[in-house]
Chains A and B, each alone.
Chain A
Amino acid sequence: MRLDTGMARNASLAALAALAGLGAASLPASAQPADLPIAAADGSPFPPGVRVRKLGNASVYTDAKGKVLYGLDMRTLLRWAPDPARFCDADCAQNWTALAAPTGSTANIRYPAGFEKTADDRFMDPRKAPDWTVIDGAQGKQWVYKGWHLVFTRAGAKARPADGDGADGNDADADANERRWNTLKYVPPPPKPAAPGVVTTAFVDGAYAFADREGRVLFTGKCERDCAWRPLPAPMASSGLGEWQVSLAGDAPEWTFKGKRVFVGAAGGSGTVPSGGQILRP
């Protein structure tokens, strides 16, 4: 390659450096830290032995022995290692055990080196990675969750503690090694029910519920005379869709779900559903 082109690359690495490996950061899919919205699983099969357990009001991944899985976000480790996948050796390895990939498996992902695109088609782009991939880690081939999170269990821990969860650097006193660790929380893949275009789903109180396009929760219930509940308006010309039918009883046509009236909550949370209303779920 000619010198000036090479140097040209170098200078624009300025920009690219900033971008390198960060693309996925944009997707909620990269977000495991406790203070960020948890991305739903993509439905791809779990690694052998991995399962989901309830932990408090959330669900977390555990290994075969029921030990809670932790994610270590590789993007936060550049200061310590140019290849963050190799971060957890020596001291770290004392406390954290990598979730090993089955013997004989080959790495199919790697941390994007520098700024050049991952041209090498043996490795996939972490941004587009499925939930579970295998990387060359400090403790050998190990699992990676959603492209970025090296998967570990707490060494020596009994079944399923989740200490240190969410201590991801917001806590001023968090130990430098703790701050990047987060339990891998599980949110099931969103269902794809047959519903009118104005209806979507949202994850509310540990399960999916129907919502409108703005994410407001849909609920049903007995609406007393001149109550302030807002029905979900339906098209007059619609002949309905599966369990969703159009009621022309009132002044304005409205949707019914399994024959029940449908109302729109004030906002996203279950808290916005008035008393007497039951959240509608697929």
Chain B
Amino acid sequence: MSPFRTVPLGIAAVTLVATLWLAGTASTSAPVHAEANGSPALLTDPQVVGMRRLTEAQYRNSIADIFGSDIRVAGRFEPIVRPAHQLIASGARSSAITPSGLEQFDAMAREIARQVFDEEHRAQFTACVPADPAGADASCAGRTLAPLGRLLFRRPLSEQELALYVRIAGEGAGPTRSFAKGLELALGAMLVSPLFLYVVETAQPDPVRPGVMRLDDNSRAARLSFMLWNSAPNAALLDAAAAGRLTDQPQLAATVRRMVASPRFEQGLRAFFSDMLLFEKFDELAKDPVIYPYFNQDVLQALPEQMLRTITTQLLDGDGDYRELFTTRKTWMNRALGALYRVPVSQSQGWVPYEFTAESDRSGLLGLAGFLAMYSHSGRSSPTLRGRAIRELLLCQPVPNPPGNVNFTAVQDTGNKAMPTARIRLDAHTTDPVCAGCHKITDPIGLPLERFDGIGGFRTFENEAAIDVSGEMDDTRFTGGDGLGKAIAASKDATLCVTSRALEYATGRPSEDGELIERLEGGFAAQGYRLRQLIETIASLPQTYEVPTESIKAGTTLVATRR
């Protein structure tokens, strides 16, 4: 049917094999393998050792950086599911694309391609003037598509790949009588290809340590760029990869140093904390509007942003100590939040810096409405949820789920004058030994935050009863948000936790190397807990690019479903 014959399998096969080949150490034997299509030979060298799906942010940032912020990316992204107690960065390694998910990617791809080659943008992205704007022009299409492909696939296109897309462009240009339309179709094909939607990591043998596989240059460029800038590698990085500079330890270190010093590092750091602090939960956050009239869409949108601004201000402006993230009073305000915090905000639009007063008892991240509202119920605060979140997110200490058959009525009945405060209600609840075990872990670090209601508004009474904010963590006693903040800042588990998260974020797997984490934490401490330094260290660490043997041998695969 139609002039659109589907591309002969042979060519595509050659393409891909060659791709993978070229992605690894240069070789001339590609065609041989191509004929022996899918032969075991492929499984040895070179090697695809991982495919990490782009997150929504990484997809959007890539398109904006490559084609410009005026290109609309409109569509719903299939979420990457977070494995229990892990980062989304790890989930990305095992995230598949469902039919409906692909449908969205396909629609987005076509919409982006349409914009890139529309009247307004065409000139910028077409490398040459076609012989006939109403027909195919293989050479001009090639010169246009090759650089685009390199940016999208984060490595140079092989000749065969380029041939494939040039062919699509040609077959599109004919019947539509438009060279641009052909390019549009070819670009659309690139954007829906697994080679774009997944960061394909390929490995090569480590020359110095026989038997060990390490990521090759192109894969390192992509990993660095997405880890540190949360976007596609730029020309400089791709050049560095092409020149083999990223497998050279000193040059790698130099590159990393430059990247963490760049303003673009903020985008990377924001992505890391959004992942570590489970910001995807903000999408489902809802509050009872009658109980909390100050909670609205504007507030909801401002909550994560306020936390991120607080984080980047503390950790990047002047390279502050990570531990002070739990004690600082410096933050940012906008109009919507101003009312919730009951503070004046000078500007109608945008954000203004703000410093909480000592009386506010708002101490670092845990004093911000974003955290306090997230770990509350829709109509009341929850010392237990807050305590558990602190354990799991900030101290990396998993807390077991409550058993199925628990009676929560006592805790939920906030109107009960006999039990006016959460502390009293919880005490009643935890007389049940089944519950006591876990509540001992969570509640004593959640109760100090009880002066903040279900959306983080300040209060000193609950049901006319004064709120007791004394608490305890790992045998240290304290009171209020300030005390809690200091306790966490002093906890080795907190710095150890962020260290392990940073390493997991870099590699896309939870590290199993406790010694390594402890060693990194030591270095972190030695550098005054400056996170920029820690991430720089991790990003230049040879181990970060080592390929665990398990991903080479065909491992067993579990299939999980959503709960």
Q: How large is the interface on B (under 10, 10 to 19, 20 to 34, 35 or more residues)?
A: 20 to 34
The answer to whether B124 touches A235 (Cβ under 8 A) is: yes
Kindly provide the distance from the CB of A87 to the nearest chain B CB, expressed in whole angstroms: 40
Complex partner residue of B151 from A213, A234, A236, A241, CB under 8 angstroms: A236
| B70 interface residue (CB < 8 Å to A) | yes
Beyond A251-B259, A252-B264, is A237–B151 a contact (Cβ under 8 Å)? yes
| A221 interface residue (CB < 8 Å to B) | no
The answer to whether B123 touches A236 (Cβ under 8 A) is: no
Question: With the chains together, A238 CA to B68 CA distance in Å?
Answer: 8
Note all chain A residues with C-beta closer than 8 A to B70. 196-198, 213
| A248 interface residue (CB < 8 Å to B) | yes
8 A Cβ contacts from B120-149 to A? 120-121, 123-127, 147-148
Question: With the chains together, A173 CA to B307 CA distance in Å?
Answer: 52
Q: How many residues of A contact B (CB 8 A)?
A: 17
| B7 interface residue (CB < 8 Å to A) | no
| B66 interface residue (CB < 8 Å to A) | yes
8 A Cβ contacts from A207-224 to B? 213
Question: With the chains together, A137 CA to B236 CA distance in Å?
Answer: 69
A 222-253 binary contact with B (CB < 8 Å = 1; else 0): 00000000000111111111000000100111
Question: With the chains together, A233 CA to B262 CA distance in Å?
Answer: 14
Question: With the chains together, A213 CA to B69 CA distance in Å?
Answer: 11
The answer to whether A233 touches B69 (Cβ under 8 A) is: yes
The answer to whether A251 touches B262 (Cβ under 8 A) is: yes
Complex partner residue of A239 from B124, B258, B262, CB under 8 angstroms: B124
B 91-126 binary contact with A (CB < 8 Å = 1; else 0): 000000000000000000000000000001101111
Question: With the chains together, A234 CA to B229 CA distance in Å?
Answer: 16
- Across chains A and B, the number of contacting residue pairs, with CB separation under 8 Å, is 63
> Which residue of chain B has its CB nearest to the CB of A246?
B124
Question: With the chains together, A241 CA to B147 CA distance in Å?
Answer: 17
Kindly provide the distance from the CB of B30 to the nearest chain A CB, expressed in whole angstroms: 27
Note all chain A residues with C-beta closer than 8 A to B258. 251
Note all chain B residues with C-beta closer than 8 A to A235. 65-68, 71, 124-125
Pick the most buried of B67, B68, B147, B148: most chain A CB atoms within 10 A of its CB. B68
Question: With the chains together, A252 CA to B266 CA distance in Å?
Answer: 13
| B293 interface residue (CB < 8 Å to A) | no
The answer to whether A197 touches B68 (Cβ under 8 A) is: yes
Complex partner residue of A248 from B127, B148, B229, B236, CB under 8 angstroms: B236
Question: With the chains together, A232 CA to B258 CA distance in Å?
Answer: 21
Question: With the chains together, A198 CA to B126 CA distance in Å?
Answer: 18
Question: With the chains together, A213 CA to B70 CA distance in Å?
Answer: 9
The answer to whether A197 touches B235 (Cβ under 8 A) is: no
Question: With the chains together, A197 CA to B124 CA distance in Å?
Answer: 10
Complex partner residue of B234 from A198, A213, A239, A252, CB under 8 angstroms: A252
The answer to whether A237 touches B67 (Cβ under 8 A) is: yes
Note all chain A residues with C-beta closer than 8 A to B229. 251
Note all chain B residues with C-beta closer than 8 A to A240. 124
4 A-B pairs with the lowest CB-CB distances in the bound complex, closest first = A235-B68, A251-B262, A197-B70, A238-B124
Pick 14 A–B contacts, CB within 8 A, sort by A.
A197-B68, A197-B121, A198-B68, A198-B69, A213-B70, A234-B68, A235-B68, A236-B66, A236-B151, A236-B234, A239-B124, A241-B123, A251-B259, A251-B263
Assuming A236-B65, A252-B264, what are 13 further A-B pairs, CB within 8 angstroms? A198-B70, A234-B68, A235-B124, A236-B151, A237-B125, A237-B151, A239-B125, A241-B123, A251-B259, A251-B263, A252-B234, A253-B65, A253-B234
